[in-house]
A and B are shown apart, each in its own frame.
Chain A
């Protein structure tokens, strides 16, 4: 079994527990061992845009310090965690002076700048490969799925896990799982993100635009990798089930149903799955 350090992030331990549940289950099936870091810290959720605001980089760097004690490969599931950790990691690798400043503050700890941060999608695509993943499929997903990337996996360009203008990782995954790709021009449109806290109208406008287009093109469900995108997409008048990619892989693998994590959906996907004979 190949070992990766796993950084869950706070949301995966609360609101998005079905994401973690399904991810750990499919990883095990694929021969990946995701070992949770014994100590980790909230990534801060939003990466600081000011590069000299080093205080904002402390939390991700403290996590990377804990990681480097065990391995140089850290995997995340949450897009925002990926973005924030990677942002801090790349910035400080590029700016040794800033890294020195942070290291002198976090003494006696010290970050050596050697850790690589991955999103699980990258690990599946680049190390496991979708070709190998196909071999575990027991029930191909005969569902029309719209990939939804949002922002955090692709922007800014330096830390994108795929082509930031023409990404294909989710499409490739859908095809590997036997699903049908529904192409929407809004697959990379921002869902409104944390504005849900104090500007629900903005989020509602964004999400309605996205979902209306996807529904118009015949989409039956949405596939995403971000807990906040999922939360926002589910809070709309258009009722389309939203899945984490790991849930759909677990379904395609026909793992025991408790690993699908179908309990935390605001828009219940069970009816869809039953009509498609994917759920008993």
Chain B
């Protein structure tokens, strides 16, 4: 087995080559109860920062998606501290400066693009912060749709912007006030309230697990 030496939390460990940062920590005996989640690059829980030997840069990434390298210096963040302003979506209006009022620090954006460079989802983070400055909620929602809220952007930002909270607020406002309402969905909700499906549900719930599995496999999937 080919091994490499990596420095974790200030101590050298010999770990097999080809492990992800998450797995390398576990190989070395660490039990990650925070800073680890889906292990598939989707949940955004395993934000990590590291350096490489002979390289001036501080790197960021998702620990479950980044492979360890010889002489890497690692620390695993349990979470990213970034205060989320409490707000009640019903009390807000999708006006031009709604985000600026709640997160005024977005006006400090200097367009350095560090957030975009750091995003593991390759989102145009700087562009959606800029869109939020001018109140273009649709654009923020569109550009930030694939955000996994790992918080790397906010760790790196020299202007101390909490990008992922800004984007989440914009998506919530956009979803509540600006997207087209689906008539079919409204009707279906009414049907559910009236108890149209209760009999079918009761039948399924009463079935043994094997039968439920069979039904699930045979289910019809409707098109969009």
Contacts and interface: CB of A to CB of B under 8 A. Distances in A.
Interface in B116-136: 126-127, 130, 133-136
A14 B97 contact: yes
A58 B110 contact: yes
Given A14-B97, A14-B134, A15-B96, A39 B127 contact: yes
Contact of B136 (A13, A15, A44, A59): A13
A56 interface: yes
Contacts, number: 41
Contacts of A62: 111, 113
B127 A42 contact: no
B102 interface: no
B110 A10 contact: no
A42 B112 contact: no
B157 interface: no
Contacts of B126: 41
Interface string A46-79: 0000000001101100100000000000000000
Interface in B134-160: 134-136
B109 interface: yes
Contacts of A44: 110
B170 to A, nearest CB: 14
A13 B135 contact: yes
A202 interface: no
A13 B97 CA distance: 10
Contact of A42 (B96, B97, B109, B113): B109
A267 interface: no
Contacts of A105: 112
B97 A58 contact: no
A106 interface: yes
Contacts of A39: 127
Interface residues of A, number: 18
Interface in A1-37: 8, 10, 13-15, 17
Given A39-B127, A41-B130, A42-B130, A56 B135 contact: no
A59 B96 contact: no
A42 B113 CA distance: 13
B135 A59 contact: no
Given A39-B127, A41-B130, A13 B110 contact: no
A10 B112 contact: no
Nearest to B96: A14
Contacts of B136: 13
Nearest to A14: B96
Contacts of B109: 42, 59
B134 A59 contact: no
B112 A58 contact: yes
A40 B112 CA distance: 14
Interface of B: 95-97, 107, 109-113, 126-127, 130, 133-136
The 9 closest A-B pairs by CB, nearest first: A14-B96, A59-B111, A13-B134, A10-B134, A58-B111, A41-B111, A62-B111, A10-B133, A14-B135
7 contacts: A13-B135, A13-B136, A15-B97, A42-B133, A58-B110, A62-B113, A106-B113
